[in-house]
């Protein structure tokens, strides 16, 4: 191959590389522009009512046309419901992923579990709410409550936790496991002391993705938690408001004051999710194996 031919092939490759880079950047811009526009719209409209009064007061005694009122009862409800959903789904999802990766590779039960996890991944949120409504509220006679909403949210969280944890465990090098086994460490202790700490950062990221996935769900809460304008700090008794329900309730009221409260509720929800992600990142950094070196 002559020098001229090599230069021509090299120029063609550079041209193709530039073209692909341009297409990638263009696709990134197309994906980011709607996100930035939504964030800007929420921040612009939500700052009008974002103050201490909004964060520390409920809607008890506040009509649709009345000035004032806040989302304290909804913020408290969302935090409790997401916390309960995490306490239910994270241990189950983590143990399921450990079984799939460490114990059940290629087994019939493992394949069945993977199939049902894939099915759960595609379940619409309203179906999870209907299931909890039919089983927990109607069949068992339990009241509408924040815990019922947490059950519905945990159904939506579980497949995300399982899949993200499974991927992180698969990324742990087998050399680490084999080195631990060579030292006579039992398998369960190897998982606890070697595998999980190595994959800890990725597991935390997956859990936060699951929390962000369910924090803004409205349909399951409408069917299981119900509406209330009062503060209810007990998620196991009576209706308990959540921020997604609060935004939906205020947005459907035909007044500008209520619409402003809806925008501020949406901004508060975004800030809560961002704060939870920041805390998770700090925990992951603190427990990172690389930090201890």
> Buried b / exposed e across 47-68, counting CB within 10 Å, b at 16+?
ebbbeeebeebbbeebeeeeee
Q: How far apart are CA 161 and CA 203, in angstroms?
A: 8
Q: How far apart are CA 129 and CA 122, in angstroms?
A: 14
Q: How far apart are CA 128 and CA 149, in angstroms?
A: 10
Residues 277/208, Cβ–Cβ less than 8 Å: yes
Residue (of 203, 195, 198, 199) closest to 178 by Cα position: 195
**What is the residue-level pLDDT of the chain in tens, covering all 293 positions?**
566 565 665 777 778 888 888 999 999 888 888 888 888 999 988 888 888 888 888 888 777 677 778 889 999 999 999 999 999 999 999 999 999 988 877 778 888 888 898 888 888 889 999 999 999 989 988 888 899 999 999 999 999 999 999 999 988 888 888 888 888 888 888 888 888 888 888 888 888 888 888 888 888 998 898 888 888 888 888 889 989 999 998 888 878 888 889 999 999 999 988 888 888 878 777 766 555 55
106 C-beta neighbours (distance < 10 Å), count: 6
Coil/strand/helix, residue 192 = helix
Specify the DSSP element, H or E, that contains 149.
helix 146-171
pTM to 2 decimal places: 0.85
Tell the CATH superfamily of the 53-292 domain: MetI-like (1.10.3720.10)
């Amino acid at each position: 191959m002559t020098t001229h031919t090599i230069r021509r092939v090299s120029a063609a490759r550079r041209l193709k590389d530039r073209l692909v880079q341009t297409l990638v950047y263009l696709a990134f811009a197309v994906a980011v522009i709607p996100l930035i526009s939504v964030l800007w719209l929420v921040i612009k409209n939500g700052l009008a009512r974002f103050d201490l009064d909004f964060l520390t007061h409920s809607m008890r005694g506040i009509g649709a046309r009345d000035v004032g009122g806040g989302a304290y009862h909804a913020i408290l409800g969302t935090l409790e419901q997401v916390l309960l959903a995490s306490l239910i789904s994270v241990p189950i999802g983590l143990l399921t992923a450990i079984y799939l990766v460490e114990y059940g590779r290629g087994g019939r039960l493992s394949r069945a579990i993977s199939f049902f996890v894939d099915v759960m991944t595609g379940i619409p949120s309203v179906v999870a709410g209907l299931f909890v409504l039919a089983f927990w509220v109607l069949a068992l006679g339990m009241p509408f409550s924040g815990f019922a909403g947490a059950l519905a949210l945990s159904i939506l969280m579980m497949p995300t936790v399982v899949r993200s944890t499974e991927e992180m465990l698969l990324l742990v090098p087998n050399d680490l496991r084999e080195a631990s086994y060579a030292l006579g460490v039992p398998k369960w202790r190897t998982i606890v002391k070697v595998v999980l700490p190595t994959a800890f950062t990725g597991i935390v990221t997956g859990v936060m993705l699951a929390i962000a996935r369910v924090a803004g769900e409205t349909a399951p809460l409408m069917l299981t938690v119900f509406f209330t304008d009062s503060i209810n700090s007990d998620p196991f008794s009576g209706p308990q408001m959540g921020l997604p329900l609060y935004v939906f309730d205020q947005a459907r009221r035909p007044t500008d004051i209520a619409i402003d409260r809806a925008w501020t509720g949406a901004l508060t929800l975004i800030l809560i999710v961002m704060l939870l992600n920041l805390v998770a990142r700090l925990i992951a950094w603190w427990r990172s194996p690389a930090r201890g070196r």
